[in-house]
């Protein structure tokens, strides 16, 4: 289905996709199933994704008016024949042949059933009926038939109210609420909203091979074409691309555990194949698993240790930690997010708080924007500070006993490079589970002790290292420092390649 569906969702859809008519043929045609999938993912109702539910309520009203009982409705919607437009017309005519219309305001036409609600009229066409029947059956059977009773109650209440337009609207709203709840539980969030579809359609239009890979320039070009509504600012566009990529990555990670193959790959019908993203599975897994580590420093024992200064260190690291592998994958797009985004934010603030006044020309000219070279220099300086902080965290934890007993997980994975070769040799051996030599371990501990003693911040007091809560704070902090350090290390590598290929100064102008 390509919409981030979980196992229950796919199972519910598969039940209809694999259903057979009494003739042995598939109960629903591939086209009907494709349209059903598009609706279920939230993309099949035109300007209002719940329009098919509104149509379904009109069809239920018409079928009830043609037969007047629940048994007739079940025969029409849950019968065993193959569902086609001609078959729906024939079934409706059979109902009318037995009893004619039970209520006024209904009439058959060459195209479908016309319903006169007094001030309003509605036409349910025969061509739409197979999809509406499929939606009815899906609603009745979804979540292992858990909604079947409530579905019947919604329709009974609608018909008992006289089947007028107000009752139809109330019935459609009840179904829409149920579908929103169902999508929320079984679909990845964000994969059925307008912003997601705007990005998806843009990428499809950019690629002749219909692949969904994109580069730094795609985010800028997309924003230039869609700088209104949900994408008013470049930062918003960048954020939405990040959410898009994360959702696709999570979908691939989820599907790797699914036995069944994806249901369809027709991009014109709104289907999405996460495999189309230009990533190796490992990279997609990294995107799916990434979570901003910095908030871990704000609670528990780690909050008692000042790992970062607020404005000089944490503030510039925060956006990089938030986007993680996505920022590392698109280094130029992230530079624009930081530099250009801050200028746009200042312009937006000026317009909001000084309406009617001209915005300073210096802002419009991006005169105060931070250059890409300056941001790179800042991150290089922060890289060195992270290196020292990691050494200090190692020292703090090593005071609790042997290193291999005091450390959990991979918190010794210091980012490269270190200034001291002996320190690096020991680090690599520790990472690989090897026992460093006495000389290497001594060099490692000396570097770590030196780094710890040079840091004059809250929590870096040697006399407090025998406390379990303080050691726990450093355990948490070491993991955060490692995660941020690895992202920063990879990001600086991306900037180095950009500078080598075309020059950051040229990109900034």
Q: Could you read off the pLDDT of 95-128 as tens digits, one per residue?
A: 998 878 989 999 999 999 999 998 889 999 999 9
Q: Could you read off the pLDDT of 464-477 as tens digits, one per residue?
A: 898 999 999 999 99
* Nearest CA among 165, 193, 138, 145 for reference residue 17: 138
**Residue appearing with tokens 């009617």:** 356
Confidence check: pLDDT of 349 > 70: no
Confidence check: pLDDT of 288 > 60: no
**Residue appearing with tokens 């780690």:** 302
For the chain, what's the residue count? Answer: 509
**Residue appearing with tokens 């000084």:** 354
User: What span, in angstroms and rounded, lies between the C-alpha atoms of 315 and 372?
Assistant: 17
Confidence check: pLDDT of 5 > 80: no
Number of helices (H) and strands (E), helices first, in the chain? 22, 3
User: What span, in angstroms and rounded, lies between the C-alpha atoms of 133 and 21?
Assistant: 14
User: What span, in angstroms and rounded, lies between the C-alpha atoms of 78 and 105?
Assistant: 25
Q: Could you read off the pLDDT of 360-389 as tens digits, one per residue?
A: 665 555 556 678 888 899 999 999 999 999
In contact, 395 and 451? CB cutoff 8 Å: yes
Q: Determine the pLDDT at residue 171.
A: 94
Q: Could you read off the pLDDT of 24-69 as tens digits, one per residue?
A: 889 999 889 988 988 887 765 555 678 899 999 999 999 999 986 7
Per-residue confidence band for 82, with pLDDT thresholds at 50, 70 and 90:
very high
Could you tell me which residue, 168 or 272, shows the higher pLDDT?
168
Mean of pLDDT values over 175-195 = 76
In contact, 22 and 81? CB cutoff 8 Å: yes
Assigned token pair, 330? 């698109």
pTM (2 d.p.): 0.56
Could you tell me which residue, 189 or 173, shows the higher pLDDT?
173
Mean of pLDDT values over 415-429 = 44
Q: Determine the pLDDT at residue 190.
A: 53
Assigned token pair, 164? 């007028």
Separation in Å, CA 496 to CA 113, 149, 238, 316, 502 = 67, 62, 22, 19, 10
User: What span, in angstroms and rounded, lies between the C-alpha atoms of 288 and 243?
Assistant: 10
User: What span, in angstroms and rounded, lies between the C-alpha atoms of 341 and 236?
Assistant: 9
The secondary structure of residue 25, as a DSSP letter, is S
In contact, 318 and 498? CB cutoff 8 Å: no
Separation in Å, CA 216 to CA 30, 239, 281, 345 = 37, 13, 20, 21
User: What span, in angstroms and rounded, lies between the C-alpha atoms of 258 and 265?
Assistant: 17
118 CB neighbour count, 10 Å cutoff = 8
Per-residue confidence band for 226, with pLDDT thresholds at 50, 70 and 90:
confident
């Amino acid at each position: 289905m390509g919409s981030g569906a979980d196992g229950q969702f796919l199972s519910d859809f598969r039940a209809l996709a694999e259903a057979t008519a009494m003739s042995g043929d598939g109960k629903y045609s591939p086209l009907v199933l494709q349209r059903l999938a598009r609706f279920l993912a939230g993309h099949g109702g035109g300007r209002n994704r719940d329009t098919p539910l509104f149509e379904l309520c009109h069809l239920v009203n018409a079928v009830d008016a043609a037969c007047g009982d629940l048994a007739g409705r079940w025969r029409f919607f849950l019968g065993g024949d193959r569902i086609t437009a001609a078959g729906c017309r024939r079934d409706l005519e059979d109902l009318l042949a037995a009893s004619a219309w039970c209520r006024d305001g209904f009439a058959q036409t060459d195209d479908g059933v016309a319903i006169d609600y007094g001030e309003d009229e509605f036409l349910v066409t025969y061509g739409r009926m197979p999809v509406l029947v499929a939606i009815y059956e899906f609603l009745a059977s979804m979540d292992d038939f858990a909604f079947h009773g409530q579905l019947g109650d919604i329709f009974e209440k609608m018909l008992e109210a006289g089947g007028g337009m107000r009752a139809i609207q109330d019935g459609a709203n009840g179904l829409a609420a149920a579908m929103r709840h169902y999508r929320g539980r079984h679909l990845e969030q964000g994969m059925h909203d307008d912003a997601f579809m705007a990005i998806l359609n843009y990428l499809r239009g950019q690629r002749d091979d219909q692949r969904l890979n994109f580069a730094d320039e795609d985010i800028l070009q997309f924003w230039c074409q869609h700088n209104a509504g949900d994408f008013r600012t470049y930062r918003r566009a960048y954020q939405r691309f990040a959410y898009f990529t994360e959702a696709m990555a999570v979908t691939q990670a989820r599907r790797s555990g699914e036995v069944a193959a994806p249901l369809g790959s027709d991009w014109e019908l709104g289907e999405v194949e996460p495999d189309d993203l230009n990533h190796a599975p490992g990279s997609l897994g990294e995107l799916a698993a990434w979570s901003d580590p910095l908030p871990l420093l704000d609670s528990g024992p780690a909050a008692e240790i000042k790992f970062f200064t607020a404005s000089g260190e944490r503030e510039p690291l925060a956006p990089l930690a938030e986007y993680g592998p996505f920022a590392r994958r698109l280094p130029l797009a992230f530079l624009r997010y930081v530099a250009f985004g801050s200028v746009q934010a200042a312009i937006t603030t000026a317009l909001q708080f000084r309406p009617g006044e001209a915005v300073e020309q210096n802002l419009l000219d991006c005169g105060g924007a931070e250059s890409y070279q300056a941001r790179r220099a800042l991150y290089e300086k922060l890289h060195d500070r992270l290196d020292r902080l990691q050494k200090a965290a190692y020292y703090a934890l090593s005071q609790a006993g042997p290193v291999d007993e005091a450390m959990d997980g991979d918190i010794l994975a210091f980012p490269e490079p270190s200034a001291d070769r002996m320190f690096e040799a020991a680090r690599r051996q520790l990472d690989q589970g090897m026992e460093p030599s006495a000389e290497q371990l001594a060099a490692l501990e000396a570097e770590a002790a030196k780094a710890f003693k040079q840091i004059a911040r809250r929590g870096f007091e040697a006399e407090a290292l025998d406390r379990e809560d303080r050691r726990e704070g450093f355990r948490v902090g070491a993991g955060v420092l490692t995660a941020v350090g690895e992202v920063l290390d990879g990001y600086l590598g991306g900037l180095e390649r950009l500078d080598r290929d075309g020059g950051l100064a040229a990109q900034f102008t």
